[in-house]
Amino acid sequence: MAKHHTLGSIVRAVRKAPLRGGGGRRRESGPRSRLSLRPDYPRAGRHRWRRWVPSWRLSLASFLICTAALTTVVSVAYARTDLPEDLNSFATQQDTVYYWADGSPMARTGWVSRQEMPLSKIPESVRWAVLAAENANFYSDHGISTKGISRALWRTVGEGDTQGGSTITQQYVKNVYLSQDQSFSRKFTEMLLAVKLDRRLSKDTILEGYLNTSWFGRGTYGLQRASQAYYGKEVTQLNASEGAFLASLLKGASLYDPAVDPDNRQRAIKRWSWTLDRMVKIGRLSPAERARYTTFPEPKAPPRPNNAGGQDGYLVALAESYAKRAGRIPDSRFDLGGYQIYTTFEKRRTAALTTAVQQARERLDPRHRKADRNTRFGAASVSPDGRILAVHGGPDFQKQAFNESNASTVPAGSAFTPFVYAAGLEYGVSHQRGGPRTPLTPSTLYDGDDGLPVMTPEGPYWDRSGKMIKGHNEGDRSYGRIGLHDALARGVDAPFLQVGMDVGLDRVRRIAEGSGLLASSFGPPVPAFSLGSSTPSAIRMANAYGTFAAHGSHTTPHSVAKVTRNGESVPLTRPKASRAMRPAVADEITASLARSGTGADTFAAPFSGRAGTTQDQMAHWYIGYTPEASTAVVTYRMNLTKSLAPLSLKGLGGDPAAGRDFPARIWTSYMKAVSK
């Protein structure tokens, strides 16, 4: 009883006691934690949230300790960081060497160039155009920018991005001493080296080094070579306007060079105008002079990407593009040179294909026959495992960079029908929308008569203009009821127009794309799709037919087997084989296209082949394959100076048949040569 009395007395005493610092307010009754009974924790004389706010003494002490620790770390790092003795490889530019499949040298390129130019010879207006765009406070900073560092740190922590915040000194350090990787450690090292370099070298020396080592695109390092590449003149002849454009390229030539992308032009104009206005703002260009520069200084067209001529130039261009893509090599790094690129091209096959095309050209007389002018011969030979063995890209790469073998410009025509047949064998057909599918066999009969309308479950197919679509055979010939195996073997096209509708054009597209044809080359999903409205290149057509030779397995075409740089292997993304169709389906296509020598086909060894024509005579094809290689040849006419629209082949070579035998003759001549 006494114990209870004592506890009650304590409670009453607490309730009657006034709160510290105020007005006799009572504390709330009820259970309390041990800390709530200590109103001075953790700071005496403070209540509620104020008890948890550190005092100014504690805050100041913490700040001083952190500052001292950070200063110590930076000081130690600065003392232990030395300027590297060796510059980056840009200072010793190298050629890039391309090799044939047998390891022998094929071509040597090296249009990347850099030429030193003393700062005194670079016009002051051009120098200040760069400074205005990149680092207006260059002559007053200490190699780094406090605002820039804060911005870079904010991006690093807040956005996961280490770009931004670099002074010209930092950029020069990155150019000549460090890699182009974006990481926090590299950025920290860059800042330390920039401060050390700023104390060792004069500002003019640093600026001269920066202007002579920066990448301006088009394979150029330094203002001198950039001036030649973009304006065809010495840097000493540049004005402030041209300098303002070149300064914009330091942000990324791929974003501001109009030759890279048409959309770049507007970005370049905006950046160019901003740079000139910025020069006025910092007092390095008078308003009167600025008023003179109202027209954007258009750069000239870029130089050739390599010095390889003849057919080698087309091979080099293909291999370079593939190596950069498969090796994830940016243009700026590839332009440094020093690569050894081992291609899949076979020298003997390339020579044989070139000779075969040249022999075909001898039948043409462009001086006296208008129909022979602007004739193109695209040809490519691809192995079943995707290696591009040979191509004929055109007459000479130095004269015509347009690659006739890699251009998606003309329709496939009836050469597309094997993919329609393969889709039918793979998926079966249905004559009702959403109805059951029935298997298709080589002996399945279809109507092979010329002029029969294409049928849908609801009746004949009408196009948007109200025209009934009908199937036609070459020469308007009718064959009656015919099995699909025989129809493909004999080149009867009309049945496959109906097969495509019965299979479903989406399934036909799936087979064609799985075999290697690019979706970007496909025509619209209308009946004409089954008769080759798509526009594949000769390389892709050879690769797609190679899928039949590979028993339905497809591998993306590739032109590079290995890449090294300075003895070190460059990792490549290797193409992997995928299943496009069942082996039995591919083998049936091969059997249907089997040839032993008919018409212009005088090649002695067994092979499978298919000629292709278009109803408007815009292209003639021949694709033939053996277990070793698939070769596609296409003939078309196109005036490259006007447009990429194909022209009619009527009268080609003085032949009333529009030179339909040209592709087959080229193919046969080539195969005879490589079989010896």
DSSP-based three-state secondary structure for 388: strand
Cβ neighbors of 136 (< 8 A, separation 6 or more) are 278, 282
In-domain check, residue 502: yes
Element spanning 317, H or E: helix 310-326
pLDDT digits (tens, 9 = 90+) for 349-361: 999 999 999 999 9
**Residue 26 included in any domain:** no
Reading the block at residue 152, the tokens are 């870079």
pLDDT at 55: 67
What's residue 435's pLDDT?
Answer: 80
In a domain, 230, yes or no: yes
CB 582 within 8 A of CB 542: no
DSSP strand pairing (220-221 vs 113-114): parallel
Final residue belonging to a domain, choices 265, 292, 319: 292
Closest among 556, 524, 554, 514 to 539, alpha carbons compared: 556
**φ and ψ at 607, to 5 degrees?**
-160, 170
- List, in sequence order, the alpha helices (H) in 471-532: 484-490, 494-503, 505-515
Per-chain mean pLDDT for the chain: 83
Residue 107 in domain: no
Question: Do 417 and 288 share a domain, yes or no?
Answer: no
- DSSP, collapsed to helix, strand or coil, labels residue 45 as coil
Given 245, 261, 292, the domain boundary residue is 292
What residue has token string 């007092």?
A: 283
Is pLDDT above 50 for 24? no
Percent of the chain residues past pLDDT 70, beyond the cut: 78
Cα 549 to Cα 270: distance, rounded to the nearest angstrom: 54
Q: Please, what's the b/e burial string for 14-35 (b: 16 or more CB within 10 A of its CB; e: otherwise)?
A: eeeeeeeeeeeeeeeeeeeeee
pLDDT band at 488 (very low <50, low <70, confident <90, very high): very high
The first and second tokens of residue 294, run together, are 């109202």
Q: Rounded to whole angstroms, how far apart are CA atoms 404 and 406?
A: 6
200 Cα distance to chain centroid: 42
- State the burial class of residue 637 (Cβ atoms within 10 Å of its Cβ: 0-12, 13-18, 19+): buried
92-118 tens-digit pLDDT: 566 788 999 999 889 888 755 567 788
Domain with residue 616: its CATH number is 3.40.710.10
**Tens digit of pLDDT for each residue in 489-527?**
999 999 999 999 999 999 999 999 999 999 999 989 999
**pTM for the complete prediction?**
0.66
Confidence of residue 4 (pLDDT cuts 50, 70, 90): very low
Q: Which residues neighbour 423 within 8 Å (Cβ) at sequence distance 6 or greater?
A: 500, 503, 504, 507, 508, 510, 511, 512
Asked if residues 422 and 586 have their Cβ atoms less than 8 Å apart, the reply is: yes
Q: pLDDT class for 26, splitting at 50, 70, 90?
A: very low
CA-closest candidate to residue 509, choices 491, 536, 483, 488: 536
**Model pLDDT, residue 163:** 42
Residue 280 lies in a domain: yes
Taking residue 310's Cβ as centre, other Cβ atoms within 10 Å add up to: 16
* Under 8 Å between Cβ of 285 and 128: yes
- How does residue 434 score in pLDDT terms, banded at 50, 70 and 90? confident
Confidence of residue 14 (pLDDT cuts 50, 70, 90): very low
For 84-146, what is the HEC assignment? CCCCCHHHHCCCEEEECCCCCEEEEECCCEECCCCHHHCCHHHHHHHHHHHCCCCCCCCCCCH
Task: Establish if 352 belongs to a structural domain.
Answer: no
The closest of 331, 296, 124 to 223, measured between CA atoms, is 124
Whether the CB-CB separation of 404 and 394 falls below 8 Å is answered with yes
Residues 288, 417 within the same domain? no
Closest CA relative to residue 226, chosen from 241, 240, 245: 245
What is the share, in percent, of the chain residues with pLDDT greater than 90?
A: 53
pLDDT over 80 at 60, yes or no: no
Among residues 272, 292, 312, which one ends one of the domains? 292
Alpha-carbon distance of 226 to 247, in angstroms, equals 10
Structure tokens at 28: 């709330």
Contact 494, 477 (CB under 8 A): no
- In this structure, the answer to whether residues 284 and 423 fall within a common structural domain is no
**pLDDT tens sequence across 548-570:** 999 999 999 999 999 998 778 99
Intra-chain end-to-end CA distance of the chain, in Å: 122
If asked whether residues 514 and 663 sit together in one domain, one would say yes
| Listed range (46-60, 114-128, 406-420, 491-505) with the worst mean pLDDT | 46-60
Contacts of 361 (CB under 8 A, 6+ apart): 375, 377
**C-alpha dihedral sign at 134, 138, 141, 143:** positive
What pLDDT, on the 0 to 100 scale, is given for residue 161? 40
Residue 277 within a domain: yes
Q: What phi, psi does 108 have (nearest 5°)?
A: -130, 125
Residue 347: both structure tokens together: 């020298």
Is the pLDDT at 603 greater than 80? The verdict is: no
Q: Tell me if 77 is assigned to some domain.
A: no
Which pLDDT does position 442 carry in this prediction? 96
Residue for token digits 């930076």?
74
Q: How many domains does the chain have?
A: 2
Same domain, 465 and 608: yes
The sign of the CA dihedral 447, 453, 454, 460 is negative
Report the alpha-carbon distance of residue 665 to residue 372 in Å, rounded. 17
421 and 282, same domain (yes or no): no
Give me the domain span that covers residue 447: 413-562+570-675
The CATH number of whichever domain residue 274 belongs to comes to 1.10.3810.10
Say yes or no: 466 and 611 in one domain. yes
- Averaged over 4-28, what is the pLDDT? 46
Taking residues 580-603, report their average pLDDT.
Answer: 80
408, with CB counted inside 10 A (0-12, 13-18, 19+), is: middle
Flag whether pLDDT at 132 surpasses 90: yes
